[in-house]
Amino acid sequence: MSELPSSLPLGSDGYPAAGGVARRPAGAAESARANRRWWDAAAPAYLAEHGGDLGDADFLWCPEGLREAEAHLLGEVAGRRVLEIGCGSAPCSRWLRTAGADVVALDLSAGMLARAAELNRATGIDVPLLQADAGALPVAADTVDVVCSAFGGLPFVADVEGALREVARVLRPGGRFVASVNHPMRWPFPDSPTPTTSGSCPPTSTGRPTWRPTDTG
């Protein structure tokens, strides 16, 4: 993966180094800027560590290996317009494209989308990529059949309710929204999904995923 210039110093593990952290109120715009900078800097290390597990064209809902091909949480996607929020390197969107969906992959991070573009070329599965904030979706109202997010976007936004209102806005009546997010108890545990760490898992994963399938309309 080609690396983008980063203004954040990196630690020995390739992730942004800890430091300069203070607890204070921050609005949605500042939170989005901070998230974008962090993920742009962290993208090479994160994808080097987890890209093999995520795959290039596979829809993995959680570290335990539940796949959309088995779970069918999104229902029939062929011919339907699908928006993925927090796509990362976009393996889920590529899988959806092979299943016949008209899919758009959205992420805040240019670093993640750069890798997504590389994998589009490598796999020959070309999905449209869109850089945007989950709290301000550049999508017209009532134009999407399905919105999905597998540990992307929602765990990191400052205003989750605002992001969910955006999802509701873009969905057509009767549309479906499905997301997997971190359980609050995930954070006390180490970042390794192994038997020796009691099912704890990576920064954007959880040992016990919470499913939130919702039909609107």
Instruction: Determine the average pLDDT of the residues in 193-212.
Output: 40
| Beta-strand pair 129-131/171-181 | unpaired
Query: Is the residue at 157 inside a domain?
Result: yes
Q: Which residues contact 47 (CB under 8 A, 6 or more apart)?
A: 1, 88, 89, 112, 115
Q: Give the pLDDT confidence score for residue 152 in this predicted structure.
A: 85
From residue 197, how far is each of 61, 180, 190 by CA, in Å? 20, 21, 7
Question: If you count DSSP H runs as helices and E runs as strands, how many of each does the chain have, helices first?
Answer: 5, 7
Q: Which segments within 67-216 are labelled E, that is strand?
A: 81-85, 102-107, 129-131, 144-150, 171-181, 210-211, 214-215
Q: Exposed, middle or buried by CB within 10 Å (0-12, 13-18, 19+), for 126?
A: exposed
Q: What is the pTM of this model?
A: 0.82
CATH of the domain at 63: 3.40.50.150
Length of the chain: 217
Specify the number of domains making up the chain: 1
The proportion of the chain whose per-residue pLDDT surpasses 90, expressed as a percent, equals 58
Query: Is the residue at 23 inside a domain?
Result: no
Q: Give the pLDDT confidence score for residue 62 in this predicted structure.
A: 86
Strand, helix or coil for residue 111: helix
pLDDT level of residue 105 (50, 70, 90 thresholds): very high
Q: Which segments within the chain are labelled E, that is strand?
A: 81-85, 102-107, 129-131, 144-150, 171-181, 210-211, 214-215
Determine the structural domain holding residue 186 and report its residue range: 54-215
Query: Is the residue at 102 inside a domain?
Result: yes
Query: Is the residue at 96 inside a domain?
Result: yes
In degrees to the nearest 10, what's the CA dihedral of 63, 68, 73, 74? 130
More confident residue, 100 or 24: 100
List the one residue out of 217, 55, 69 whose CA is nearest residue 146: 217
Query: Is the residue at 37 inside a domain?
Result: no
The proportion of the chain whose per-residue pLDDT surpasses 70, expressed as a percent, equals 82
The widest CA-to-CA distance across the chain, in whole angstroms, is 49
Q: Which residues contact 144 (CB under 8 A, 6 or more apart)?
A: 81, 82, 83, 170, 171, 172, 175
Q: Is the pLDDT of residue 41 over 90?
A: yes
Query: Is the residue at 80 inside a domain?
Result: yes
Query: Considering the chain, what is the average pLDDT of its residues?
Result: 85
Query: Is the residue at 25 inside a domain?
Result: no
How many angstroms separate the CA atoms of 188 and 196, rounded?
15
- Per DSSP, what are the bridge partners of residue 150? 180
Query: Is the residue at 171 inside a domain?
Result: yes
